[in-house]
Amino acid sequence: MTEFFQTLVSGLSLGSIYALIALGYTMVYGIAKMLNFAHGDIIMVGAYAVITTVMISEAIPGIVAVVISVIVCVVLGVTIEFFAYRPLRKAPSLTVLITAIGVSYLLQNLALLIFGSEQKSFKLDFFDMIKPIYIGKVYINGITFLTLVVTVIIMIALTLFINKTRLGKAMRAVSEDKEAAELMGINVNRTITLTFAIGSALAAVASIFYGGAYTYIRPTTGSMPGIKAFTAAVFGGIGSIPGAMLGGILLGVIEKFAENAISQWSNAIVFVVLVIVLVVKPTGLLGKKINEKV
């Protein structure tokens, strides 16, 4: 029983990271109707931003490094959108997809150029400040605890933001009907920029937890969680924000349990589950039925 809960906790923690990243995929897809495959690499940039900041001076507290990382990622995400995706707003979706893949390789290779190919250790001062806790015999270390708490807070805040605020409503309106939203006086480009900014900020937060859990980073660090989170977004129903949260968490839990059962097969099991879900429910767990437009 202890083992079950232990696996559940690590699954929830991994799932939280996937969910944070999946939110970026799903929000951008919902609003700009594009798959931003460079999103995974924003995580990698976020992680490098943290270790670079800490490297510059030991005196800089970890939390400052986190803030810098979030700023770097937001600026990067918005810049990518402006230079690479905005000119292609009316282009076929395949063109945008190829561009996104191009941007992804560009970021990886830039990181390779600047930081080299060897892995770097990822450590922040506040990881050790939170003492591990025991619930019964289940051990929860500091970074896991932090991941779970912060993810829950972010999810609640994001849900409130999307549903309750003026800008959140503008985002939902743009995702439902871009043209009608524009005719209601909503600046669609600014709304898309905001979406990229939020998605990138979440990726930066995810990078802290991912780096904390795996302790090492390298230029290709972003690809695997990127692909898993994209899977999670599809799993939950791409375009749906609660779907990305649920999809991410379920994917993390399934992966950890699969790893526990037959470690070599964990990824295979994850994707088999994805295939089954998509066969039974092609729009994903919480995906909306696509209404035929007349």
Residue ranges binding another protein (CB under 8 A): 157, 160-161, 164-170, 172-173, 176-177, 179-188, 194, 288, 291, 294
Smallest separation, CB 124 to another protein (Å) = 24
Residue position matching structure tokens 């209601």: 184
Closest to another protein by CB, 201 vs 251, is 201
Smallest separation, CB 294 to another protein (Å) = 5
Smallest separation, CB 180 to another protein (Å) = 4
Closest to another protein by CB, 128 vs 176, is 176
Residue 35 φ/ψ region, left for φ over 0, alpha for ψ in the -120 to 50 degree band, beta for the rest: beta
* Gyration radius of the chain over CA positions: 19
Closest to another protein by CB, 161 vs 265, is 161
Residues 6+ apart with CB under 8 A from 106: 38
Residue position matching structure tokens 């939110």: 23
Smallest separation, CB 176 to another protein (Å) = 4
Diameter over CA atoms, the chain: 61
Measured between alpha carbons, how far is 281 from 25 in angstroms, rounded to an integer?
Answer: 20
Smallest separation, CB 182 to another protein (Å) = 4
Closest to another protein by CB, 193 vs 260, is 193
Closest to another protein by CB, 67 vs 98, is 67
**Nearest to 12, CA basis, from 294, 253, 286:** 253
